Amino acid sequence: MTATMRMLIDGAWCEASTGATYAVPNPATEEPVGHAPDATFDDMRRAIAAARRAFDEGPWPRATREDRARALQRIADAMERRKEEMRQLLIAEVGASFITHGMQVEAPIEHLRHWAELARTFAFEETLPVRVSQGAMGPQVNCGIVYRQPVGVCGMIPTWNFPAYVTVQKLGPGLATGCTMVFKPSPWSPLVNLFIAELCQEADLPPGVVNFVTGQGSDIAETLVSDARVDKVSFTGSVATGRKIIQASAANLKRVFLELGGKSVGIYLDTDEPQMNAMIASGPAMFHAGQGCAMATRVLVPAASHDVFVEHMVGFLKGMVTIGDPSDPATMLGPVIRPERRRAIEEHIASGKSEGATLATGGGRPANLTRGWFLEPTVFCNVRNDQRIAREEIFGPVVSVIPYRDEDEAVRIANDSTYGLGGAIYARDTSRAIALAKRIRTGVVWINNGINMLDGPFGGFKESGIGREGGRWSMEEYTEVQQITWRA
């Protein structure tokens, strides 16, 4: 598995024009998983030109619904057939432990099939009600339709944490709507993306419809975002980069879709079942080493049950959670992606201590793991919402438990954040939880472990993003709305 993979530009496999490559390390072993091309501006410009040509002159934007659906099905079939290969790559490249494989491995296949269905069924055209209007020559009968055209050439910049999932969330609707695309994967997950490029080639798409350009630096991403031949940028990553993308895309007023970070809450309303609730609340200190955008890393518990709740969390994390190489199916908590990310997380942990939060468990590196970028699952308790660990996204296995007095205070704490991505509520009374959810300023609220609906919108309020993806919401994101009207 230490092969050097190639990029896909204009329907052909290629190396970087300089021949340069870079090694991609396995975060659990620090050994190279493989090598990826380290592209230049020129490689990126060539890919943009190919996507532009494929959009303006190629058959894809005018392909039938059925053609688009079949292409998506072929990619889904190829992913299904090569699923075990993809699984191994995800384990090695981003440290995906088995408990994450539902989202890492299975969901992308399911979603591709769903995009195929939407290519067939989405309302690209709607008839407007006939109206009698006052024209220059007197009253006239007007007919009209609303038509959705593909938005054009899309610059796709997915992140690394769930790389197949995030890339498919862009590829699926991009293909279903007839767009052409240049993918610039995260420098930390090029291999899974180039694997997906192979699946796209198996689907026999016209040249230039899907291009993948990999590299270590941000310069190729900046080229993609600022190039006037690109109509839309779809980015999943941090708020800081999202801001730069808005600035850079202003020159030609590109459409911008941003899925950014979060500092989500989990609100626990009842005080019984503390053991079960504490286990759920520990999830973000364990699941994919806390490297998820919408994880409930601020745990809000009734003040009266705070201590017992924390005790159960510590018991679960110390007693039940296995830490190690995710290639072992028994591993629950794998490494974080890079040493610099581990240092940044440790810096947050140090700030939690110095600002007076109580470290209930973890906070260090597991003593028995000398290789790989591991961290212990970490819980701070008696946290105040104005402390850095409660305000900033840590993107590591660190959870803050914050006590609250009543529901109004829980809502105030939940909404006192610059982020607005996800939220979770746990309650015996679902109606009470739904009423509470409507007061939370986030794009999604999961009640009692509700799961994202395939046709539901996903995205953020406030600094967590602009736009929504999922089902028809993505179809709308990747289309431009056109009114066509005529006098009857």
In the complex, the smallest distance separating the C-beta of residue 225 from ligand NAD, rounded to whole angstroms, is 5
Which residues ranging from 213 to 242 are in contact with ligand NAD (CB under 6 A)? 218, 221-222, 225, 236-238, 241
Single residue of 34, 37, 261, 372 touching ligand NAD by CB under 6 A: 261
Q: Which of 122, 160, 183, 268 binds ligand NAD (CB under 6 A)?
A: 160
Please choose, from the candidates 402, 400, 390, the residue with its C-alpha nearest in 3D space to the C-alpha of residue 303: 402
392 sits near ligand NAD (criterion: CB under 6 A): no
Interaction of residue 259 with ligand NAD, rule CB under 6 A: yes
Q: How far is the CB of 256 from ligand NAD (least distance, A)?
A: 11
Residues 437-466 that bind ligand NAD (CB under 6 A): 465
CB 235 within 8 A of CB 256: yes
Cα-to-chain-centroid distance, residue 342:
20
| No. of helices (H) and no. of strands (E), the chain | 16, 21
Calpha distance 344→368 (Å, rounded)? 21
- Least separation in angstroms between residue 136's CB and ligand NAD is 48
| Nearest approach, Cβ of residue 260 and ligand NAD (Å) | 5
Sign of CA dihedral 27, 30, 36, 40: positive
> Per rule CB under 6 A, is residue 189 in the interface with ligand NAD?
no
Q: Residue 103 Cβ, how far from ligand NAD at the closest point, in Å?
A: 11
Q: Is 415 an interacting residue with respect to ligand NAD (CB under 6 A)?
A: no
Q: Which of 286, 293, 313, 360 binds ligand NAD (CB under 6 A)?
A: 293
Nearer to ligand NAD, 221 or 333 (CB): 221
Binding status of residue 398 toward ligand NAD by CB under 6 A: no
What is the distance of C-alpha 172 from the center of its chain?
14
**Annotation marks residue 85 as catalytic:** no
Alpha carbon 415 to chain centroid distance? Answer: 22
Write down the least CB distance from residue 214 to ligand NAD, Å. 10
Q: Does position 260 bind ligand NAD by CB under 6 A? A: yes
Q: Is 282 in the site for ligand NAD (CB under 6 A)?
A: no
Say how far apart CA 350 and CA 344 lie, in whole Å: 10
Residue with tokens 């699923």: 83
Q: How many CB atoms lie within 10 A of CB 30?
A: 12
Q: Pick out residues in 128-157 that bind ligand NAD (CB under 6 A).
A: 157
Partners of residue 139 on adjacent β-strands: 134
Residue 356 DSSP one-character state:
T
- The answer to whether 274 touches 306, Cβ cutoff 8 Å, is no
Is 154 marked active-site?
no
Could you tell me which stretch among 158-166, 313-321, 397-405, 473-481 binds ligand NAD (CB under 6 A)?
158-166
Q: Which residue, 423, 358, 349, 415, is CA-closest to 384?
A: 358
Is residue 476 part of the contact set for ligand NAD (CB under 6 A)?
A: no
**How many CB atoms lie under 10 A from the CB of residue 405?**
10
- Amino acid identity, residue 320? M
Name the residue among 54, 478, 420, 463 with its Cα closest to residue 255.
478
- The answer to whether 50 and 9 are in contact (CB under 8 A) is yes
Determine if 104 is a binding residue for ligand NAD (CB under 6 A): no
Residue from 60, 195, 309, 395 binding ligand NAD (CB under 6 A): 395
Considering the candidates 200, 293, 381, 476, report the single residue annotated as catalytic. 293
Residue number with CB closer to ligand NAD (376 or 393): 393
- The strand pairing partners of 399, in sequence order, are 379
What are the residue numbers of the active site? Answer: 259, 293
Residues in touch with ligand NAD (CB under 6 A) = 157, 159-161, 166, 186-187, 218, 221-222, 225, 236-238, 241, 244-245, 248, 259-262, 293, 393, 395, 421, 465
